[in-house]
């Protein structure tokens, strides 16, 4: 009995002295990713409780990306992004969280601080010449279009390329004539900095992407800047009017354009992958299109994942389906992103993910659209939605 008493006492003392796990603070945090050259890519996120479970919302301009896969092990926190194969391995302390962002090809140092709702620490210049508008951006061997909105020194916008846009950027125009913007969604990890010279020139541009990639250049204001017509880049090889694929859907059923379920319908084929941020934006758009026009219109996602294994590829494709609330079928091609030409040999000059193929009721390919510029591009996105909707409605009317 005496031994039992002492054992109980020692156990009680041990439990009372055990370290209490650090509380994960609710509210707005400021996260900082560190590149290879020690540049800092900041972004904001909010932690809040849903019942007993914490969730994270990553904030960039008007976008909030929900992250609900959080695992606590003592003072360690493991965060899995919903898409793009990105996760965080973190250690919590009273004043910060610190650790690494982990992707398949690299790791990035990361630190975050609570109660910091700002993105960049520099002083904003609300009275400087505005950078709002369209810019022709020349980076090394690439030409982009920058589309910015500025309000009292706060800047949002995106960059457009022939392959699509760089999604949502947010930043500041400082009183020292510096423009600093960043983007983080788990797929795109970017930092854009430039010196603002007058009202029409950006110099000493640096565009960091991921851990070590950085491009440099300059930009000029050009309100009529345009990219190549996205409907003119990819086509069909001579002699072809349609595509002859047959791939299993996520339930294992083989689907081709001759499938009975597609007869008499306008069909939209989406060449896509869960690793592709622009594919996520397009999936949200096409989900709305399907909900509005089905059964007159059907959509098939042709999924090209980083694994050729059916089950692994299916798992990744279904992550995209869940995150974007996709109501249409996902076909598992069993090919990687570099093997599109093998899977769809009829295509000529395939260039980008996503690529969208519009097929009429007779099974004939009518239009092919390369890339996707999402809602972060403002008027460009709205113009695309109008044009694509008009195309679909015209094809529905055809007999």
Residue 14 is assigned to a structural domain of this protein: no
CATH number at residue 63: 2.40.128.120
pLDDT in tens, the chain (399 residues): 445 334 433 444 444 445 678 889 999 999 999 999 999 999 999 999 988 899 999 998 888 999 999 999 999 999 999 888 899 999 999 899 999 999 988 999 999 999 999 999 877 876 678 999 999 999 998 899 999 999 989 999 999 998 889 999 999 998 789 999 999 998 899 999 999 999 999 999 999 999 999 999 999 999 999 989 999 999 999 999 999 999 999 999 999 999 999 999 999 999 999 999 999 999 999 999 999 999 999 999 999 999 999 999 999 999 999 999 999 999 999 999 999 999 999 999 999 999 999 999 999 999 999 999 999 888 889 999 999 999 999 999 998
- Are the C-beta atoms of 147 and 97 separated by less than 8 Å? no
Would you state the structure tokens that stand for residue 302, as one six-digit string?
């042709």
Would you state the structure tokens that stand for residue 195, as one six-digit string?
């010196």
The predicted structure's pLDDT at residue 366 = 98
Residue 50 is assigned to a structural domain of this protein: yes
> Is there a single domain that holds both residue 173 and residue 204?
yes
Q: Using CA atoms, how far apart are residues 359 and 392, in angstroms rounded to an integer? A: 10
Q: Using CA atoms, how far apart are residues 202 and 194, in angstroms rounded to an integer? A: 6
Give the domain-ending residue among 163, 188, 221. 221
Q: Do strands 329-332 and 297-303 pair parallel, antiparallel, or not at all (unpaired)?
A: parallel
Three-state SS sequence of the chain:
CHHHHHHHHHHHHHHHHCCCCCCCCCEEEEEEEECCCCCEEEEEEEEEEECCEEEEEEEECCEEEEECEEEEECCEEEEECCCCCCEEEEEECCCCEEEEEECCCCEEEEEEEECCCCCCCCCECCCCCCCCEEEEEEECCEEEEEEEEEECCEEEEEEEECCEECCCEEEEEECCCEEEEEEECCCCEEEEEEEEECCCEEEEEEEEECCCEEEEEEEEECCCCCCCCCCCCCEECCCCCCCCCEEEECCCCEEECCCHHHCCCEEEEEEECCCCHHHHHHHHHHHHHHHHHCCCEEEEEEECCCCCCHHHHHHHHHHHHHHCCCCCEEEECCCCHHHHHHHCCCEECCCCCCEEEEECCCCCEEEEEECECCHHHCHHHHHHHHHHHHHHHHHHHCC
Residue 229 is assigned to a structural domain of this protein: no
Phi and psi angles of residue 153, each rounded to the nearest 5 degrees, phi first: 85, -10
Residue 87 is assigned to a structural domain of this protein: yes
The predicted structure's pLDDT at residue 129 = 84
> Is there a single domain that holds both residue 159 and residue 295?
no
Would you state the structure tokens that stand for residue 116, as one six-digit string?
């910091």
- Are the C-beta atoms of 262 and 328 separated by less than 8 Å? no
> Is there a single domain that holds both residue 177 and residue 265?
no
Give the domain-ending residue among 161, 193, 221. 221
> Is there a single domain that holds both residue 213 and residue 258?
no
Residue 126 is assigned to a structural domain of this protein: no
> Is there a single domain that holds both residue 193 and residue 141?
yes
> Is there a single domain that holds both residue 282 and residue 373?
yes
Q: Distance of CA 205 to CAs 20, 174, 179, 194, 257, Å?
A: 47, 15, 9, 4, 47
Sheet (strand 355-359) strand order: 329-332, 297-303, 266-272, 355-359, 365-370
Contacts (Cβ under 8 Å, ≥6 apart) of 69: 79, 80, 81, 82
Using the Cα atoms of residue 301, residue 302, residue 303 and residue 308 in order, give the sign of their dihedral. positive
Q: How far is CA 297 from the centre of its chain?
A: 26
The predicted structure's pLDDT at residue 18 = 54
CATH number at residue 157: 2.40.128
Contacts (Cβ under 8 Å, ≥6 apart) of 257: 242, 243, 244, 245, 267, 359, 363
CATH number at residue 349: 3.40.30.10
- Provide the terminal-to-terminal Cα distance of the chain, rounded to the nearest Å: 92
The predicted structure's pLDDT at residue 176 = 83
Supply the range of the domain harboring residue 190. Answer: 133-221
Residue 127 is assigned to a structural domain of this protein: no
> Is there a single domain that holds both residue 71 and residue 200?
no
The predicted structure's pLDDT at residue 12 = 42
Instruction: Give me the residues paired with residue 201 across strands.
Output: 197, 220
Instruction: Give me the residues paired with residue 139 across strands.
Output: 142, 217
> Is there a single domain that holds both residue 183 and residue 157?
yes
Provide the number of structural domains found in the chain: 3
Residue 205 is assigned to a structural domain of this protein: yes
> Is there a single domain that holds both residue 285 and residue 343?
yes
> Is there a single domain that holds both residue 110 and residue 139?
no
> Is there a single domain that holds both residue 72 and residue 45?
yes
Give the domain-ending residue among 172, 192, 221. 221
Would you state the structure tokens that stand for residue 291, as one six-digit string?
């909900």
Residue 334 is assigned to a structural domain of this protein: yes
> Is there a single domain that holds both residue 175 and residue 244?
no
């Amino acid at each position: 009995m005496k031994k039992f008493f002492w054992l109980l006492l020692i156990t009680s003392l041990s439990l009372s002295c055990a370290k209490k796990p650090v509380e994960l603070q609710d509210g707005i945090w400021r996260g900082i990713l560190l590149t290879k050259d020690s540049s800092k890519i900041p972004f904001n996120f909010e932690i809040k409780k849903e019942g007993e479970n914490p969730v994270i919302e990553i904030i960039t301009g008007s976008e909030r990306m929900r992250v609900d896969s959080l695992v606590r092990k003592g003072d360690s926190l493991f965060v899995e992004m919903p898409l793009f194969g990105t996760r965080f391995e973190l250690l919590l302390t009273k004043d910060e969280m610190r650790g690494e962002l982990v992707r398949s090809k690299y790791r990035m140092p990361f630190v975050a601080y609570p109660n910091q709702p700002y993105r960049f620490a520099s002083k904003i210049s609300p009275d400087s010449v505005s950078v709002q508008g369209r810019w022709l951006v020349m980076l090394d061997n690439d030409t982009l279009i920058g589309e910015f909105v500025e309000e009292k020194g706060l800047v949002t916008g995106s960059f457009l390329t022939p392959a699509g846009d760089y999604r949502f950027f947010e930043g500041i125009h400082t009183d020292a004539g510096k423009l600093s913007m960043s983007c983080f969604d788990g797929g795109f990890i970017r930092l854009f900095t430039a010196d603002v010279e007058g009202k029409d020139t950006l110099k000493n541009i640096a565009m960091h992407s991921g851990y070590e990639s950085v491009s440099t250049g300059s930009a000029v204001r050009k309100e009529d800047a345009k990219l190549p017509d996205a409907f003119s880049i990819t086509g069909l090889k001579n002699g072809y009017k349609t595509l002859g694929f047959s791939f299993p859907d996520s339930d294992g059923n083989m689907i081709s354009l001759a499938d009975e379920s597609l007869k008499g319908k306008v069909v939209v084929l989406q060449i896509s992958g869960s690793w592709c941020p622009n594919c996520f934006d397009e999936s949200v758009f096409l989900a709305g299109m399907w909900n509005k026009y089905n059964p007159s219109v059907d959509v098939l996602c042709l999924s090209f994942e980083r694994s050729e294994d059916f089950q692994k590829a299916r798992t990744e494709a279904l992550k995209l389906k869940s995150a974007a609330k996709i109501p249409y079928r996902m076909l598992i091609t069993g090919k990687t992103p570099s093997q599109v030409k093998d899977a769809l040999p009829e295509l000529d000059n395939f260039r980008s993910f996503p690529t969208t193929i519009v097929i009429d009721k007779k099974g004939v390919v009518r239009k092919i659209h390369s890339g996707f510029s999402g809602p972060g591009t403002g008027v460009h996105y709205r113009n695309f939605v109008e044009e694509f909707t008009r195309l679909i409605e015209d094809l529905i009317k055809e007999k």
